[in-house]
Structure 1
Amino acid sequence: MEELNFLDLVILQRIEPGTVIEKFGPKINSSFFEAANILGTLKQKGYIDFKSTYPGPSEVEVTQLGARMLEVADEKAKEAIDELDIAILGSIVKGRVDPEEIKDELNVRSGDVALHIHKLVKQDMVSYSIKSGKITLSVTEDGFKKVGAPKVEKPAEEIIVTGEVPKEAPPAEPVKLDRWARMKAKWEYYVEKFKKEPKKLVIYAVVLLLVFLIAAYLLLFFRMGS
């Protein structure tokens, strides 16, 4: 099943009793050499065989294996749409129109992709065209409704760098305070400090009182001595 691809199924469906190699090209919109190359590939896979009637044309007939592949594909086409079908539809909507591209993008076996594309064609969600041995896929209206429009990623906003370095503002000059302003600032500082730690205020007051008493005692002592 891994060797099967969607082109194989398309070719097998177009082979009828009495089909000959020499006249098969127009049936697939391809040249004689392109058609002969495709038929040769299917023969290597065992899906078809050639019956020569010398000196007449070479007739093409579908083998039992080829007929079985068509039966499996038609049975698969009757199933409900599943996640792989949705993924394939999404790939086609995004622009993957070649079955090989879809296989590579989804990393799914060629045979599975072929059967699911065949199902989508049978259920009128995908259509295809063939030219020069190449398949081109497109979604139908029903197929598009099934998956909707692809999400378009919003491009990132472009940041323009001019190379200009913003100039820094010059440092502000220190504010000069006069004598009374400095004294007031110190007084407010100590007041706030003592409000937070009132115990220190008591200690400082006691120390200042002791210093004052000692100074007064010494002054009185020196005066009495003189």
Structure 2
Amino acid sequence: MEELTFLDLVILQRIEPGTVMEKFGPKINSQFFESANILATVKQKGYIDFKTSHFGNSEVEVTQVGARMLEVADEKAKEAVDNLDLAILQKIVAGYKDPEDIKNELNIRSGDLALRIHKLVKQDLVSYSLRNIKISLSITEDGFKKVGSIKGEKPPEEQIMVSGEAQPAETAAPVAPTEAAPAGPVKLDSATKRKAKMEYYMENFRKNPKQLAVYIIGALIVVACVLAGIYFVFLKK
């Protein structure tokens, strides 16, 4: 299977009962020596055999192995087109006509490529011409549409469900009633004033501890001075 080529399948398909090597050239659009050479190659793979007829010609017949290759190819041709088939179609669209070039470009086995091309030909996605033992592939209209449809596909867009029903409005949070501003200046008693001053100084001291230390040291100095003055007054007496 690995040695199988698409040209081998073409040769096998064109061998009919009574086919002789000497007259096989016109069947593949080739000269006698070219056709004899390719038949010898296919024989080495075990797909065909020769037998001498009564008229001295070498009759060509398909062996069981060759017949099995055709059966496998026809079974493969019934399968749906897959990603590898699309890759082959894209190469043909890009200008690759020789199966050997496609094999090297895709890095796949010769037998796999042969079955795929046979499949694409059977499904009328690819056509080929044969001249001087040379296969030339071309894309058909259906094959071009197949490649174009795959390229043009877009991922399904996310559907957004739109409802005709009006969405209920969000209930606004109740606003707490605010106290009315006083009509005139507010008079504070002495206790409230002292409390306000104390809170003011404590807040300043909390934000600036160094200032508190300065006040404490200053207060201690004042106390020391007062005590010293009292001491000198009593000492003079």
Query: What is the TM-score of this pair, normalised by structure 2?
Result: 0.62
The structure whose Rg is larger is 2
C-alpha separation in 2, matches of 1:35 and 1:95: 27
C-alpha separation in 2, matches of 1:53 and 1:26: 20
Q: Does 1:19 align with 2:16?
A: no
Task: Write the deviation string for residues 65-101 of structure 1: whole angstroms up to 9, x where unpaired.
Answer: 0000000000000000001100000000011100101
Task: Please state how far the C-alpha of 1:16 moved relative to its aligned partner.
Answer: 0.2
Paired position in structure 2 for 1:3: 3
Measured on the aligned residues, the alpha-carbon RMSD in Å equals 1.4
Q: Does 1:64 align with 2:54?
A: no
Paired position in structure 2 for 1:52: 52
Task: Please state how far the C-alpha of 1:107 moved relative to its aligned partner.
Answer: 0.1
Task: Please state how far the C-alpha of 1:125 moved relative to its aligned partner.
Answer: 0.2
What is the 5 A alignment of 1:201-216?
A: none
Percentage identity across aligned positions? 78
SS of 2:61 mapped into structure 1: strand
C-alpha separation in 2, matches of 1:79 and 1:5: 19
Paired position in structure 1 for 2:119: 119
Task: Please state how far the C-alpha of 1:55 moved relative to its aligned partner.
Answer: 5.3
Q: Does 1:33 align with 2:33?
A: yes
Task: Please state how far the C-alpha of 1:53 moved relative to its aligned partner.
Answer: 2.9
C-alpha separation in 1, matches of 2:143 and 2:119: 12
1:35 is matched by which residue type in structure 2? S
Task: Write the deviation string for residues 188-218 of structure 1: whole angstroms up to 9, x where unpaired.
Answer: xxxxxxxxxxxxxxxxxxxxxxxxxxxxxxx
Moved over 4 A (4+): none
Q: Does 1:132 align with 2:138?
A: no
C-alpha separation in 2, matches of 1:66 and 1:75: 14
How many residues are aligned here? 150
SS of 2:135 mapped into structure 1: strand
Task: Please state how far the C-alpha of 1:54 moved relative to its aligned partner.
Answer: 5.9
C-alpha separation in 2, matches of 1:34 and 1:54: 24
Task: Write the deviation string for residues 26-69 of structure 1: whole angstroms up to 9, x where unpaired.
Answer: 00000000000000000000000000136511000000000000
Query: What is the TM-score of this pair, normalised by structure 1?
Result: 0.65
The gaps in structure 1 that reach 5 residues or longer are 152-226
C-alpha separation in 1, matches of 2:50 and 2:70: 19
What is the 5 A alignment of 1:60-209?
A: 60-148=60-148
The gaps in structure 2 that reach 5 residues or longer are 152-237
